Chains A and B, each alone.
Chain A
Amino acid sequence: MYAQLVKSEGLKSREDMSPEERDFQDRVDNGEKIEPKDWMPEGYRKTLIRQIGQHAHSEIVGQLPEGNWITRAPTLERKAILLAKVQDEAGHGLYLYSAAETLGVSRDELLEKLHSGKMKYSSIFNYPTLNWADIGAVGWLVDGAAIMNQVPLQRTSFGPYSRAMIRICKEESFHQRQGYAIMMKMAAGTPEQKDMAQDALNRFWFPSLMMFGPSDKDSVHSAQSMAWKIKMNTNDELRQKFVNETVPQADYLGLKVPDDKLAWNEDKQGYDFSEPDWSEFFEVIKGNGPCNRERLNARVKAWDDGAWFREGLNAYADKAADRRKAAAVAAE
């Protein structure tokens, strides 16, 4: 998902737990929220920092493929809408970095790890947005897939993460709908526009399915994260749900999901579908996707180019504080 392949501990059995760990697990099982100052297992803290950090990075790197089209949106209204959407994503990044910070890591540290390649962001943002239809496909499919993952995470055990998710989910539905509205317009447009919409779907379908990560139904890491309620569903469950909801939406557009094996399965009340090419996924994660280098360079450049500004505001704040101090002394 926005956090793919998050490393965690193996699942600990109840007998192996310390008394504190057992109390902690009981609280989680009872649906209590864990707050930053509460005792928590070190593995819980570390896994959460990795997961929330990766999620935050995805939000801000995710601004890049869409930001690419703000200046080229077809109308002023579309431009304003896209700008608002991309601005929301900056906010999502901020909510999530703040949640991670409550676990004792600073935002600058997390950004440093993103910029040095030590931390990852979602594989999906390493694909290019080649034309306006891609902006429709991203909102519809990428934000749609993100919603699948984020809605259950509103119930996650860690209070600050849960609250960030609630805030984010309130805003995501606008993202998906504006994307789908673009697709509706394109699909109902000229034959060339409809072809562009189909082409965008063709290119974004499998990368969107990859967002959920490879199957983890047998993974001990996922089992531990699920016991801690920092992961609410298996990757396969969420992927299936996404396919089930998205195929009828493609049908409505008169577009074809690019999968010959796609078929309704009456028994499971869901679609059968082809797995994405997981070797491609691992290549993208390793840094060899179409846009990995470009995305990371853009991030690092934005950070470096903004340094003088962050410094300047610090200097101004320090001076203003000195001036206030001097004024207070003079008044005495």
Chain B
Amino acid sequence: MIILDAIIQGILMGLLFALVALGLTIIFGVMDIVNFAHGEFLMIGMFTAYWTSLLLHVDPLIALPTSAIVGTLLGVASYYWLVKYLLRGPMIAQLFGTFGLMLFLRYLAQFLFGTDYRIVQKGLLVGKSLSLGPFILDWTKLSAAILSLFAFTLVYYLLHRTKLGRALRATALNKEAASYMGIKTDRMNALAWAIGGGTVGIAGGLLVNFWYVYPTVGLLFVMIAFASVALGGFGSIKGAFFAGVIIGMIEMLFPVLGHLIGSDFLGPHFKFTLVYFAYFIIVVLRPQGLFGWKH
């Protein structure tokens, strides 16, 4: 029972991980660029929801659209004001470019908000839980999971069922060929950053309901997102989804197993070590990730 509970909690958390990983994998898929500032986008999404709900006295869930909008704008601005110029430089410039963006946003947040840990104190769902037989689910986590799944599905639909989405995928597969089709690849790049920023902004808005927000909060989550993207296959949307959920489950399951067999080795403080361990094993066995690249 305790295992089943851990699995359920893991899936809930994993759906949010998947949404965080989604933007990273799309940006990589379309541009072959790793957005090191992705965790900071998440942090900004969290702060946006936090301040909106605090200052406007609305529920953090109602503040969610502002997180989405701020995330989208942040993505687009990053593309047009920074990444676009980096593309002309060598690979290494692209690497350090988004790394620089990460530092900039992180310390900007520190400058503006200080290093305090803040948490949403009150909200419709905060502190409430749902009992389903023997399982007790926090409403905040449950709604975050459901809305993550919804956002993920929406983006999946956009990419696979619309003309715009197909153009984006074509750009990811082969930029040159896409341009010969009349696709404006520069706009597709911007679109990838818009989706990337928007989805991770939403993830931040959901996360802030049950997680402390502080300027370096993105680090933990972006590490998980990197693992998800590598595990699922760079640029793979399905891969990000399943890898996110798998990592969520590993993260919840291992401490429980450790507890059951009475071993400290599998204790909570090691849970992410195990995530990376699982990741290493899979990367050795299947370097292209679960779903292969760019699917």
A and B: interacting chains: no
B interface list, Cβ under 8 A from A:
none
